[in-house]
């Protein structure tokens, strides 16, 4: 029987990882390094929130730690990178605007669990 208070992905247990970065892009080599870092984020399931902010939904803290560890393993030598984890509940309280128009945040899709 369906309980309206039950959700498969608990809003306090599931997390969003936000990656903020400001990487140097003055030389061709620096642009390539910045592009490679961004591509690795995309390959790991992150999506662009804003130009230098990428985000990824994780169903558990353990899953978030795996992705955070991958980010740390791919850090470029120069630049500033911030990684923040917030609960799905906190993410859902964010207000997003396009200009003065309020828009709804996207809900994460249910992910297939194999065990």
Give the domains, in start order, of the chain with CATH numbers.
Answer: 3-93 (3.30.70.240)
Residue 65 in tokens: 């730690």
On whether 3 is known to bind a ligand per the annotation, the reply is no
What pLDDT sits at residue 110?
A: 55
93 neighbors 57 (Cβ within 8 angstroms): no
| Predicted local confidence at residue 74, as pLDDT | 96
Mention every residue, 6+ apart, whose C-beta is less than 8 A from residue 74: 37, 40
Q: Tens digit of pLDDT for each residue in 74-95?
A: 999 999 999 999 999 999 899 9
Residues of the chain with pLDDT under 50: 1-6, 115
Predicted confidence at residue 9, as pLDDT, reads 58
Q: Are 103 and 28 in contact (CB under 8 A)?
A: no
How confident is the prediction for the chain on average, in pLDDT?
A: 87
């Amino acid at each position: 029987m369906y309980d309206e208070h039950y959700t498969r992905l608990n809003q306090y247990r599931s997390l969003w990882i936000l990656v903020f970065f400001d990487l140097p892009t003055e030389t061709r080599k620096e642009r390539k390094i910045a592009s490679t870092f961004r591509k690795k984020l995309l390959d790991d399931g992150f999506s662009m929130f804003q130009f230098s902010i990428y985000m990824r939904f994780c169903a558990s803290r353990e899953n978030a730690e795996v992705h955070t560890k991958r980010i740390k393993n791919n850090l470029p030598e120069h630049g500033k990178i911030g990684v923040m984890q917030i609960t799905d509940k906190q993410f859902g309280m964010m207000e997003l605007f396009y200009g003065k128009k309020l828009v709804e945040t996207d809900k994460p899709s249910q992910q297939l669990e194999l065990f």
